[in-house]
Copies of this chain bind each other. A is one copy, B any other.
Amino acid sequence: MSGYLGSFVHQVDAKGRVALPASFRRGSESESFILIQVHEDALSLFPHSSWRPVEEELRELIRKQPEARAGVLALTASALEVSTDKQGRILIPDRMRELVGLRREALFVGALNKIEIWDPKRFRDSTEAPDPKFDPFIESIFA
């Protein structure tokens, strides 16, 4: 199975629940993910297989650069393990939704090793004019 791909808009219900897109569910039922805000504008959802190396690298960073400890701690403090319920939904705490401007609609975006969760409008604004400087690099990757 390859990485996460595609984009899907789902409703956030009154209880803060959102259905994880079916194509992002790997195992049969009730899997769990790490929910964390890595970037300014979006939440990230890591399956355990992708999270493990991240965790290793974070510890490695602290070992080599102890001054990075506070920054790493701020990240881990606001991260969270979430599980799908029997209907395949995850619960996103209100606080986290506010951080990235999520309202009634959540856009799930496949980003290879992880899933990003965006407010649809913000995503459009952030990706509508990608920097053409990188086009040659990207083109050559697909050649």
Pairwise interchain contact A141-B79, C-beta atoms closer than 8 A: no
Distance of A30 from chain B, by nearest CB (Å): 14
Copies in the complex: 2
Verify B61–A134 contact, CB threshold 8 A: yes
A38 at the interface (CB under 8 A from B): yes
Interface residues on A, range: 35 or more
Contact B5 A76 (CB under 8 A): yes
For window 108-143 of A, CB contacts with B under 8 Å fall at 109-114, 116, 123, 126-127, 130-131, 133-135, 137-139, 141-142
A130 CA / B70 CA spacing, docked (Å): 6
For the A-B complex with A5-B36, A39-B69 known, give 8 more contacts whose Cβ atoms are closer than 8 Å.
Answer: A3-B55, A3-B76, A5-B79, A6-B76, A6-B79, A59-B112, A68-B131, A72-B138
- The 10 sampled A-B contact pairs (Cβ below 8 Å) are A2-B52, A5-B36, A6-B76, A6-B81, A39-B69, A61-B138, A67-B131, A68-B134, A75-B138, A77-B111
Q: Which 4 pairs between the two chains have the least Cβ-Cβ distance?
A: A71-B130, A74-B127, A7-B77, A68-B134
